[in-house]
């Protein structure tokens, strides 16, 4: 890895983290395109630069995250299943799943098909009225956390699993998208914190610099991606993202598998 690679990874992370296209999958496939092997450092780097994306949510939503106790309780309820499942399967995820490009490609493809089919199924139904995050039922928040747990499979997309799960449960489009942003904070903090705790002594000075570049690049681009997503959902469904996932899966299969 060099400094340009670190910048590219940070940009990819920031752009894809909050869009339903799988940031982890795109980072893995970016490594393939750049001909970088999946070393222990690269795996930790890909996880750690998520801290930049986390910071972007904190900056944009600090009142709801740090002041609104009702929202915080609902985020906690959704995080419980994700935290438990992630802790149980941490070793499997890092040892096996994060090394399989085939899993990413299939997850992108199947996820794209599901996304399109889901939006077509909902097309004839009335749009759900706007909801306040502090009024979301705890049971639905917990179930959203279970849906999010499917994203331990690289390529599924935490954002896609959370958003589609929330829509299926009857949450409004804007509410579940914002809830997905906020739920990312404890989820990604837990994943990143656990990995850094287990590997903090393995970084040299240059690798720490790579982390810093990736962090700031992901922070800046994630802010742009969040604002884009909030504006996009006002007048669009997620069909375009489904089509993108299918095209990306086919291209990755043809050229880098």
What is residue 196's predicted lDDT score, i.e. its pLDDT?
Answer: 66
Arithmetic mean of pLDDT, 164-181:
93
Q: How confident is the model at residue 99 (pLDDT cuts 50, 70, 90)?
A: low
> Mean pLDDT across the stretch 211-222?
93
Q: Is the pLDDT score of 47 beyond 90? A: no
CA separation for the pair 159, 131 (Å, rounded): 19
Whether the model clears a pTM of 0.95, i.e. scores above it, the answer is no
d(CA 247, CA 41): 30
**Residue-level pLDDT at 13:** 93
Question: Confidence class of residue 97 from pLDDT cuts 50, 70 and 90?
Answer: low
Say if residue 222's pLDDT is above 90.
yes
Among 76-85, 101-110, 204-213, the minimum mean pLDDT is found in 204-213
């Amino acid at each position: 890895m060099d400094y340009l690679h670190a910048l590219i990874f940070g940009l990819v992370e920031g752009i894809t983290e909050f869009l339903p296209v799988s940031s982890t999958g795109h980072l893995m496939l970016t490594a393939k395109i750049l001909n970088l092997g999946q070393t222990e450092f690269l795996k930790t780097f890909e996880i750690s630069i998520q801290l930049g994306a986390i910071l972007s949510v904190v900056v944009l939503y600090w009142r709801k995250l740090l002041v609104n106790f009702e929202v915080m309780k609902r985020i906690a309820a959704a995080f419980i299943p994700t935290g438990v499942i992630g802790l149980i399967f941490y070793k499997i995820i890092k040892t096996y799943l994060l090394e399989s490009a085939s899993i990413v490609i299939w997850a992108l493809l199947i996820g794209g098909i599901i996304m399109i089919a889901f939006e077509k199924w909902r097309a004839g139904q009335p749009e759900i009225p706007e909801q306040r995050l502090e009024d979301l039922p705890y049971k639905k928040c917990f179930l959203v956390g279970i849906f999010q747990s499917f994203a331990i499979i690289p390529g599924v997309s935490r954002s896609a699993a959370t958003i589609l799960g929330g829509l299926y449960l009857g949450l409004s489009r804007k509410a579940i998208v914002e809830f997905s942003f906020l739920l990312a904070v404890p989820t990604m903090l837990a994943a990143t914190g656990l990995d850094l705790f287990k590997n903090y002594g393995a970084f040299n000075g240059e690798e720490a610099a790579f982390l810093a570049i990736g962090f700031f690049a992901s922070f800046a681009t994630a802010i742009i991606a969040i604002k884009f997503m909030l504006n996009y959902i006002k007048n669009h469904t997620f069909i375009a993202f489904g089509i993108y996932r299918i095209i990306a899966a086919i291209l990755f299969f043809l050229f880098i598998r």
